[in-house]
Structure 1
Amino acid sequence: MEGIKKKYSMTEEMFKNAIGKEGFTIAEYKKKLADQIAISRIVEHEVKSKILITDNELDQYLSENKEIRKESDGFNISHVFFRKADNRQQVEAKAMDIYKKIKAGGNFSDTARQYSEDASAQSGGSLGFIKKSDMSKEFLDVLSKMKDGDVSEPFWSGNGIHILRLNERKEFKNPQELKEAVRQKLMDDKFIKEYRSWIKGLRERAYVEIKL
């Protein structure tokens, strides 16, 4: 918490008031942070640490996707995502409220972990590097107006509402940079797949234990 106060130049009183507005006491906020850290460490140990992209996998992907060498421009992005619902206005209001929290100084990654309705929430909303040719028009229209570090206002795609953070605009200058970006993309893809499988396994084991 000292790091948070230092980062946003907050006094102890300002910090207490800020978390009070969120409905937390100091003790409750400490527990929330501890729970988030514990969950992140478990995911790191059980999922991320076991993900490996071999050189053979990387070479095979590059061989099967030769166009990526020509279409190497893209974006490293994170998002907070809200699924479609029957009450469209309610989803929009919720997204705008979260956007305002971020703009008021809230940590984007922590906010994504807490509120995002997407598997990427556990990695702080990170979607990694995505090339332009893989992005929808809605994403490209928003990102074209952003600079590194910017956070977008909520916007709709075909799946729901997104709040984007542009971590970095990528333009690869040599083959090694491109290979490392592809490696990260494959790791991100594998993480989402393995994370969903891990969660499914936990639910199945919990169901068996309850029945027993």
Structure 2
Amino acid sequence: MNVLTNCKYKLASCVIAATLLPWQASQAATDIDFIAAVVNDDVIMESELAMELTSVSRELERQQSIVAPADVLREKVLEQLILELLQLQAAERLGVAISETMLNNAMANIAKNNNLTLVQLHQAIVNDGQSIASFREQIQRTMTIDEVGKIAVKRRINISEKEIDQYLSSQQGAALSDTEYLLYHILISVSEQASELQQQVAQQKLSDVQQALAEEGDFSSLAITYSDANNALSGGSLGWRSLSQLPSLFSDTVAQMQVGDISQPLRNNSGYHIIKVADQRGLALQEADQTKANHILVLNNEIRDAQASKALVDEIYERLQKGEEFYKLARSFSDDANTALKGGDMGWLNPGQLPDFMQSQLDILATGSISAPFQGPAGWHILQVSDRQKKNIGENILRNKARDALYESKFAGEMENWMRELRNDAYIEIR
């Protein structure tokens, strides 16, 4: 059985999807290659586009989805490549990089999720006609895109304590420990300020989708063909979401739906949304093993390159080893805007509250100990564990979950805005 399915649209955060498809697609050799698109100072070649089209088409066939018309699929895949290239360019500007350690951990997770050893995974990759190097390169590319998106969008989202209070007193806040829904989404994009002709085109497109759904058409296939959302090529999947993680436009409707239900069109300024509830499950809050931690971050930036950042973090670590106070060094050197003025104090942390590459370091530290410098996507980190405790569900946990839910509800919109700005500010020429 082939254990590899397409990773392109399934990698999120630092959690690698359970199965991945070969990225490398076979293509007849050609003597001359042509430019498909110019994106700022980079280009997308026709050969790259052809490989991506082959890969996407193969995955759609594997899923037994109805493949969109060739011209529609080409347009969507090229747009996806353009957006990915813009994000990779942003990653380079921000100094975002995936370390070998992070990449090795990702490979180990892929093997584990497929019930394979690392050696068996490597053999499966080779048996599928790929090189291990090209497979690792694609995983690294996908992780980089994921990380730069999170870093860039995080800077755009501010959540106040007042917002958290209001959220906890709302119906959504009361549902924090309730049901999660596996959702799929189709967006027919048309703004409220669109011209009459644009409105008519959108209405016709919406009518076509509704007619196909009424005839029991496959929702994911229709999302691939018709949806204007960024997740169209993944069949419109939104993953598992609780009501608290959804915009109110969606949450009020989803709360009334059963598994298998498809909503009527929901209208906002982005256009018309259709939601499908594919599954649901219970979500219960658990007792938490909390860790009180301190943090020093040394960023790579335009002033300080990677080599200078490494030299600085090594100097800080050496001074810590000689007995200097973590608090003072964090205030003097840390680039973590949230904790530097507090001497690096991150407060009490719940499991999973930090990114995986930081959580794994935190988990192995003894109370009172300091980690050696370790690399993350944006720079170098040092962690200190000052205390640990087991705490029952309480106000702190609920507030953190409320903050996460508010962040999650804002993330998709801000990601769309950020990517729209990237595209609007870029020089793009379709050949």
Is contact 1:75-1:129 (8 Å) kept? yes
1:83 aligns with 2:208: no
Which of 131, 143, 147 is the matching residue for 1:37? Answer: 143
1:178 aligns with 2:398: yes
User: CA 1:113–1:182 in structure 2 vs 1: closer, same or farther (change >3 Å)?
Assistant: farther
User: CA 1:205–1:15 in structure 2 vs 1: closer, same or farther (change >3 Å)?
Assistant: same
Q: If the length of structure 1 is used for normalisation, what is the TM-score?
A: 0.56
1:190 alignment counterpart = 410
**2:160 alignment partner AA:** T
- Secondary structure at the aligned position of 1:53 is classed as coil
User: CA 1:40–1:70 in structure 2 vs 1: closer, same or farther (change >3 Å)?
Assistant: closer
Q: Which has the higher helix share?
A: 1
Map 1:1-212; keep pairs closer than 5 Å. 1-11=107-117, 12-13=119-120, 16-17=123-124, 26-62=132-168, 65=170, 67=171, 73-76=177-180, 79=182, 81=184, 83=186, 85=209, 87-88=212-213, 91-92=218-219, 115-117=234-236, 125=239, 127=241, 130=244, 134=252, 135-138=254-257, 141-142=258-259, 155-158=260-263, 159-161=274-276, 163-164=278-279, 166=281, 168-170=283-285, 174-206=394-426, 210=429
Q: Per-residue deviation at 1:209?
A: 5.4
CA distance in 1, matches of 2:163, 2:235: 31
Q: Per-residue deviation at 1:37?
A: 0.3
Q: Please identify the structure whose Cα radius of gyration is greater.
A: 2
CA distance in 2, matches of 1:191, 1:93: 23
Deviations 1:42-69, CA, capped at 9 Å, x for gaps = 1122112543312132234446x3x567
Is contact 2:221-2:235 (8 Å) kept? no
- Give me the identity figure in percent: 19
Deviations 1:7-61, CA, capped at 9 Å, x for gaps = 433254566447866x855444323211210101111221125433121322344
User: CA 1:93–1:160 in structure 2 vs 1: closer, same or farther (change >3 Å)?
Assistant: same
**2:419 alignment partner AA:** I
CA distance in 2, matches of 1:76, 1:28: 36
CA distance in 1, matches of 2:145, 2:133: 18
- Secondary structure at the aligned position of 1:47 is classed as helix
Return the structure number with greater relative CO, CA threshold 8 A, min gap 6.
1
**2:162 alignment partner AA:** N
Aligned CA RMSD, in angstroms, stands at: 4.3
CA distance in 2, matches of 1:69, 1:161: 23
Deviations 1:172-201, CA, capped at 9 Å, x for gaps = 964444333322221112212211110111
Range with greater deviation from structure 2 (168-177 or 3-12): 168-177
Is contact 2:125-2:132 (8 Å) kept? no
**2:236 alignment partner AA:** E
Deviations 1:107-142, CA, capped at 9 Å, x for gaps = xxxxx8972536x5xxxx4635638x843333xx44
| Length, aligned pairs only | 170
CA distance in 1, matches of 2:232, 2:132: 20
User: CA 1:54–1:2 in structure 2 vs 1: closer, same or farther (change >3 Å)?
Assistant: same
**2:178 alignment partner AA:** G
Is contact 1:129-1:185 (8 Å) kept? no
Q: If the length of structure 2 is used for normalisation, what is the TM-score?
A: 0.31
- Secondary structure at the aligned position of 2:284 is classed as strand
